[in-house]
């Protein structure tokens, strides 16, 4: 599946690191962890909001409304319950005017209906909207080792604290290419102005081509290892949804996890990870 380049895409000029193909280290770095149910829920939310933003961005471009033509600076996504199947929500596009930011356009998603592009009924941003936008900009400006020239943000309310979780997702326009390494997760204060924690969700960059089984025309499952945690990450759930392909992920402790249909399950197998195994 082709990833779009969002209006908040961050131009990055640094060269990407090479994939780490060595055996995983025994000292797994501590990153913030969640239980598997939360990981699955977050991964699905990331996918839904990212796809809503992608569809909304395409609609804006089709209408001739871009950062150049309309002074757009970014977007914020709000889901309406249930919303988790793109059944309801809004993508609000923000523009700069007279040195300030304001709401410009809304694309409303209603279950069973075609999304609608309308002018924002009130240009004044609510404090929470300002905080979400600030959190997204803060995260995008603090990517240390970029693996793509373009990153797309997804911001969700933190499930455990009063604040934000912001993911910066490495993006590509190349079809049949999965970006496994290079994503970041930021824990940010409620006002969107302070990074409380930054978790690199990989140790290096890793892009993996997606192969198609010629006999059935279906994608072949992707196998990789993960070096930063002994349990699946929400970005792996996101990639499963994004590319509609199962993944088998070996952890530093050797346990093999299956990721399919938005679910993460331990396969019951423990592997000896060798030097030829692709690892982000």
pLDDT digits (tens, 9 = 90+) for 133-166: 999 999 999 999 999 999 999 999 999 999 999 9
pLDDT (tens digit per residue) in 42-89: 999 999 999 999 999 999 999 999 888 999 999 999 988 654 455 589
Cα 212 to Cα 12, 61, 176, 218, 240: the distances in Å are 31, 31, 9, 5, 15
3-state secondary structure of 190: coil
The pLDDT tens digits of the residues spanning 164-219 come to 999 999 998 887 899 999 999 999 999 999 999 999 999 999 999 888 777 777 77
Identify the bridge partners of residue 186 per DSSP, sorted by sequence position. 166, 198
Instruction: Report d(CA 42, CA 50) in Å as an integer.
Output: 12
CB atoms within 10 A of CB 125: 19
pTM of the model: 0.85
For residue 8, how many other CB atoms are within 10 A of its CB?
23
Q: Please, which residues bridge with residue 76 across strands? A: 92
Tell me if 142 sits within 8 A of 121, measured CB to CB: no
Helical spans, DSSP H, in 1-119: 36-62, 67-70
SS3 state at 254: coil
């Amino acid at each position: 599946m082709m990833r779009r380049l969002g209006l908040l895409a961050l131009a990055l000029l640094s060269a990407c690191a090479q994939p780490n193909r060595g055996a995983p280290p025994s000292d797994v770095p501590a990153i913030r962890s969640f239980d598997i149910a939360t990981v699955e829920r977050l991964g699905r939310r990331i996918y839904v909001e990212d796809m809503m933003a992608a569809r909304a961005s395409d609609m804006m471009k089709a209408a001739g409304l871009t950062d150049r033509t309309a002074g757009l600076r970014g977007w914020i996504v709000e889901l309406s319950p249930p919303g988790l199947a793109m059944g309801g929500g809004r993508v609000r596009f923000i523009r700069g005017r007279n040195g300030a930011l304001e709401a410009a356009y809304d694309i409303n998603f209603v279950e069973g209906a075609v999304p609608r592009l309308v002018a924002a009924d009130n240009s004044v941003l609510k404090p929470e909207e300002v905080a979400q936008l600030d959190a997204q900009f803060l995260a995008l400006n603090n990517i240390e080792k970029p693996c793509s020239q373009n990153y797309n943000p997804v911001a969700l309310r933190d499930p455990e604290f009063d604040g934000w979780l912001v993911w910066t997702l490495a993006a590509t326009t190349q079809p049949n290419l999965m970006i496994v390494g290079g994503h970041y997760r930021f824990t940010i204060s409620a006002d969107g102005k302070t990074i409380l924690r930054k978790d690199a969700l990989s140790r290096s960059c890793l892009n993996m081509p997606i192969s198609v089984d010629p006999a059935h025309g279906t994608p072949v499952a992707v196998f990789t290892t993960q070096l930063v945690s002994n349990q699946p990450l929400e970005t792996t759930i996101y990639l499963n949804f994004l590319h509609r392909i199962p993944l088998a992920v070996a952890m530093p402790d050797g346990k093999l996890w299956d990721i399919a249909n938005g679910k993460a399950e331990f396969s019951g197998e423990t592997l000896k990870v060798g030097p030829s195994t692709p690892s982000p």
